[in-house]
């Protein structure tokens, strides 16, 4: 039997939603300002997940220009009905709520069908037994918010032929607790002639919780589960290692067993750098209500899924080696900022990944030239070998750990042609202000064409160390850099860190830095590869 290890998706995989189609499970997450948007994962045992694509992989589907790091795509929902996959989501930076569809969940997905009449966020779809489709989402209390977070869950029928909301919209529920804040992430289900709404409340931070209500009619009145909330860690105190648990979605296996995906965070000393991650819990039904992890009542390190173990053919490796010189496409795991300018990136056989200079700094809310991977572990090392052109017009290139445009760490290389040297600087950007925290100037050989330098960024929890290597030998540039500010608690927002390669600035717009490879390895707290 398969045993799922929590988090089932570590790192920046927030707002999970999942659905079952026969023996197959599909899961999606929110991506905010990153492109492509909404990774889609597949599993046959709920334990091993493989990315099969990205739902929003064309700029035409996903306008993100100028959006804030935690704007763009909010919480998506995935559902399947009558041969069609549906993802419904909100682009808070352009267009609002929309639906995309696909016959193959790996894609291609359709252009978005916007629902301008649907206010608010966190949309979900429900297909009733007679095929009628309903939209469920959240919006501010239509009678006026009495306090911050005074929102309502509302339902309206969706005509699938016209993709328009039809009939009356009805506010059905505003949460389980008195003076509840942020009832959100609602999903509708039907079981044994009851309609159930599972939703989050309390805000996505420490007081996050999953709750449920039910009704015999989809339009209500909904009755509160007397055992609410069904999942939270807010009563466990701020030292508990897994916090902010909520945003649940239920799925039934072919054997009739139930599971819930939920988001949670794993802070270190009160600092969350990995963002909101995806967890799994078991669900049983008692007296017509779902009970999460019965006998335990909180998220566990492992979950027996009751399904045959289906390790992927290529088991997920925690050391990921990308040899760009031999790759034809970057692969689905890579993330860009907002809508990338494809002319600034090219994979050249035998050479590597070329990034153009001339783009804007990572501090800007713009489509900076950056390509990254999610930080999947508290302790990791990222290494790359790059080659700097003779003329980059003072442009910088290197490796960055990005929480947002306002909070990131950069190991930045500038080739100084006149001085026949390479300046190596470490910048910690906080509140959008760059601070140079370490630096060195290393000489290069006179008349050297391209200069090859290896970069290493090692993160152990809340500190980072950077090293460079090249013709000049190995140099430690900075150690024990305090990166606590690259956390949700300081930076705010909804994302986790990504680690990536970038190029910025410089007045030689035709110049490129070439990255030969990128290696991401999980390490232990002593620095050895796991």
Name the catalytic one among 45, 150, 184, 458. Answer: 184
CB of 416 to ligand 6LW, least distance (A): 43
CB of 28 to ligand 6LW, least distance (A): 12
Task: Give the span between the Cα atoms of 236 and 256, in whole angstroms.
Answer: 31
Q: How far is CA 228 from CA 210, 214, 362, 371, in A?
A: 8, 12, 43, 42
Using CB under 6 A as the binding criterion, the count of chain residues that bind ligand 6LW stands at 13
Task: Give the span between the Cα atoms of 527 and 3, in whole angstroms.
Answer: 28
CB of 485 to ligand 6LW, least distance (A): 21
- Dihedral (Cα; 322, 325, 329, 331), 10-degree rounding: 0
If the CB atoms of residues 276 and 467 are measured against ligand 6LW, the closer one turns out to be 276
Measured at the CA of 462, the angle between CA 247 and CA 242, to 5 degrees, comes to: 30
Q: Does 72 bind ligand 6LW (CB under 6 A)?
A: no
Task: Give the span between the Cα atoms of 366 and 148, in whole angstroms.
Answer: 30
Task: Give the span between the Cα atoms of 363 and 380, in whole angstroms.
Answer: 24
| SS3 call for 343 | helix
Decide: 300 and 281 in contact? Cβ < 8 Å. Answer: yes
- Is 184 catalytic? The answer is yes
Q: Does 494 bind ligand 6LW (CB under 6 A)?
A: yes
Q: How far is CA 258 from CA 20, 48, 391, in A?
A: 11, 17, 59
CB of 14 to ligand 6LW, least distance (A): 5
If the CB atoms of residues 15 and 157 are measured against ligand 6LW, the closer one turns out to be 15
Decide: 237 and 207 in contact? Cβ < 8 Å. Answer: no
If the CB atoms of residues 202 and 290 are measured against ligand 6LW, the closer one turns out to be 202
CB of 200 to ligand 6LW, least distance (A): 5
Decide: 156 and 140 in contact? Cβ < 8 Å. Answer: no
Chain residue whose CB lies nearest ligand 6LW: 204
If the CB atoms of residues 2 and 209 are measured against ligand 6LW, the closer one turns out to be 209
Question: Which residue in the set 7, 14, 186, 500 belongs to the binding site for ligand 6LW (CB under 6 A)?
Answer: 14
Site for ligand 6LW in 288-327 (CB under 6 A): none
If the CB atoms of residues 75 and 371 are measured against ligand 6LW, the closer one turns out to be 75
Question: Which residue in the set 13, 74, 135, 334 belongs to the binding site for ligand 6LW (CB under 6 A)?
Answer: 74
Q: How far is CA 30 from CA 95, 147, 151, 347, in A?
A: 16, 27, 21, 27
The position carrying tokens 């008195």 is: 178
Counting Cα atoms < 13 Å in the Cβ hemisphere of 372 gives 32
CB of 184 to ligand 6LW, least distance (A): 4
Question: Which residue in the set 36, 183, 185, 290 belongs to the binding site for ligand 6LW (CB under 6 A)?
Answer: 185
Task: Give the span between the Cα atoms of 341 and 64, in whole angstroms.
Answer: 12
User: Mask 100-139, x = binds ligand 6LW (CB under 6 A)?
Assistant: ---------------------xx-----------------
Decide: 452 and 470 in contact? Cβ < 8 Å. Answer: yes
If the CB atoms of residues 29 and 384 are measured against ligand 6LW, the closer one turns out to be 29
The bridge status of strand 231-232 relative to strand 209-215 is antiparallel
Q: Does 98 bind ligand 6LW (CB under 6 A)?
A: no
Question: Which residue in the set 10, 17, 29, 30 belongs to the binding site for ligand 6LW (CB under 6 A)?
Answer: 30
Q: How far is CA 351 from CA 321, 346, 373, 471, in A?
A: 16, 10, 21, 19
If the CB atoms of residues 17 and 156 are measured against ligand 6LW, the closer one turns out to be 17
Question: Which residue in the set 11, 15, 487, 499 belongs to the binding site for ligand 6LW (CB under 6 A)?
Answer: 15
CB of 247 to ligand 6LW, least distance (A): 5
Name the catalytic one among 15, 150, 201, 396. Answer: 15
- Is 15 catalytic? The answer is yes
Counting Cα atoms < 13 Å in the Cβ hemisphere of 317 gives 10
CB of 389 to ligand 6LW, least distance (A): 40
Task: Give the span between the Cα atoms of 57 and 109, in whole angstroms.
Answer: 8
Site for ligand 6LW in 193-252 (CB under 6 A): 200, 204, 247
Task: Give the span between the Cα atoms of 66 and 329, in whole angstroms.
Answer: 26
Q: Which residues contact 403 (CB under 8 A, 6 or more apart)?
A: 69, 273, 485, 486, 487, 488, 491, 493, 495, 496, 497
If the CB atoms of residues 56 and 371 are measured against ligand 6LW, the closer one turns out to be 56
Q: Does 75 bind ligand 6LW (CB under 6 A)?
A: yes
Q: Does 12 bind ligand 6LW (CB under 6 A)?
A: no
- State phi, psi for 271 to the nearest 5 degrees: -125, 120
If the CB atoms of residues 107 and 185 are measured against ligand 6LW, the closer one turns out to be 185
Q: Which of 168, 105, 102 minimizes the C-alpha distance to 135?
A: 168
CB of 93 to ligand 6LW, least distance (A): 13
Chain contacts with ligand 6LW (rule: CB under 6 A): 14-15, 30, 74-75, 121-122, 184-185, 200, 204, 247, 494
Query: Which residues does the annotation mark as catalytic?
Result: 15, 184
């Amino acid at each position: 039997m398969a045993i799922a290890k929590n988090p089932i998706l570590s790192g920046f995989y927030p707002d999970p939603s999942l659905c079952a189609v026969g023996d197959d499970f599909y899961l999606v997450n929110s991506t905010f300002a990153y492109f492509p948007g909404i990774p889609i994962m597949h599993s046959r045992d709920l334990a091993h997940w493989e990315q099969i694509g990205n739902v929003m992989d064309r700029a035409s589907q996903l306008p993100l220009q100028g959006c804030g790091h935690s704007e763009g795509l909010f919480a998506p929902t995935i559902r399947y009905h009558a041969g069609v996959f549906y993802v419904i989501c909100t682009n808070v930076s352009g267009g609002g709520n929309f639906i995309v569809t696909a016959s193959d969940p790996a894609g291609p997905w359709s252009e978005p069908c916007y629902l301008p009449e649907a206010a608010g966020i966190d949309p979900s779809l429900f297909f009733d037994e007679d095929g009628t489709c309903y939209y469920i989402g959240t919006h501010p209390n239509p009678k006026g918010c009495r306090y911050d977070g005074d929102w309502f869950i509302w339902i309206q029928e969706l005509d699938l032929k016209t993709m328009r909301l039809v009939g009356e919209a009805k506010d059905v529920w505003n949460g389980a607790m008195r003076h509840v804040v942020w009832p959100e992430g609602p999903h509708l289900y039907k079981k044994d002639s009851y309609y159930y709404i599972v939703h989050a409340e309390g805000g996505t931070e420490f007081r996050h919780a999953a709750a449920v209500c039910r009704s015999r009619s989809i339009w209500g009145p909904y009755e509160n589960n007397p055992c609410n909330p069904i999942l939270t860690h807010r009563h466990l105190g701020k030292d508990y290692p897994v916090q902010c648990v909520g945003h649940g979605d239920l799925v039934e296996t072919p054997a009739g067993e139930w599971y819930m995906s939920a988001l949670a965070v794993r802070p270190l000393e009160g600092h969350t750098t990995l963002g909101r991650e995806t967890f799994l819990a078991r669900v049983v039904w008692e007296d017509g209500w779902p009970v999460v992890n019965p006998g335990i009542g909180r998220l566990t390190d492992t979950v027996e899924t009751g399904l045959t173990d289906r390790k992927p053919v290529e088991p997920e490796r925690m050391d990921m080696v990308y040899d760009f010189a031999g790759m034809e496409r970057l692969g689905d795991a890579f993330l860009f900022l907002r809508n990338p300018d494809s002319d600034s990136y090219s994979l050249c056989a035998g050479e590597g990944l070329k990034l153009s200079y001339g783009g804007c700094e990572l501090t800007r809310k713009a489509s900076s030239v950056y390509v990254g991977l999610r930080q999947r572990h508290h302790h990791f090392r990222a290494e790359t070998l790059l080659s700097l052109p003779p003329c980059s017009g003072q442009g910088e290139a290197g490796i960055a750990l990005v929480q947002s445009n306002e909070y990131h760490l950069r190991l930045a290389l500038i080739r100084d042609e006149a001085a026949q040297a390479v300046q190596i600087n470490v910048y910690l950007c906080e509140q959008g202000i760059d601070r140079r925290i370490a630096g060195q100037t290393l000489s290069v050989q006179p008349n050297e064409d391209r200069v090859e330098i290896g970069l290493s960024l090692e993160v152990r929890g809340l500190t980072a160390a950077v090293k460079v290597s090249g013709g000049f030998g190995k140099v430690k540039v900075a150690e024990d850099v305090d990166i606590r500010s690259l956390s949700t608690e300081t930076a705010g927002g909804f994302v986790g860190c990504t680690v990536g390669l970038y190029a910025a600035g410089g007045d030689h717009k035709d110049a490129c830095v070439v990255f030969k490879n990128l290696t991401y390895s999980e390490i232990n707290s002593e620095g050895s590869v796991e």
